[in-house]
Structure 1
């Protein structure tokens, strides 16, 4: 199995729970990638996505994890590639606040996304400081099905929210 963990806007592979989860998955035999994409949610998704598609191999034994802007990236990505499972943490598919969101597409091919992922999980908080909340998770769930999990864990890691481990996500991935 392979896992690719996509950081959020302004993030990098060394923050939050990404290194912890990567190590946990490696110990279970996963080949893990945690790429650094400084252009995430800076460059328009139409220009950004081809580089991501070219940089990784995806397949029926691939698990993808995205946090915040990285979860929004997964929606665009899943229109083009097949994976086993996708985990969208603090994800969103519409503007969650007043900030520009170049990672978002104007619309999504929900049927293509649904057919390209065997299982999809949305993990959001009831309240999120950036608006990536349970309502956003519900919007994606309503279009794609899958499993929605609502916690009370803020943004699941941020500059002012330490979140160095994510046992729930580790258990879900298995």
Structure 2
């Protein structure tokens, strides 16, 4: 069974609880889960071409949400160094891996809206996956965020809130909204 776990004070809560943080210390939750071990790498070949092919090793076992994230190429650069080409993800960012998990969990919990704070890439990913899941989404960004990033966030249908100040002010505004 997957549960929320606070790494600071050890508080635990069911993942069905609509809490965004630990009620004791107000810190972010971690997920505590025991992955179900599948039949090894050979069991992956017939599976869908997305992050969900690794469902045996993820804290959520299935999803109806995907934009085809994952499976980006690993290109050898030298004998010992390779590059993962995550700019080939649906929103051009590795943040899609986390955003698809967040959107699936939010879809299951059924909140009124998803609130995120970002300086760009995470906001774009969360907006895209919330749109795919049919979830209303509000993304808080610092007022100086790149216009290209804010355009991407809005293109996915998210409500954009520009916050005066920097990253910390944006995080505080999103927390207050949540």
Structure number with greater CO (CA < 8 Å, separation at least 6) is 1
Alignment TM-score > 0.5, same fold? no
Q: TM-score, normalised by structure 1?
A: 0.39
The structure that has the greater radius of gyration is 2
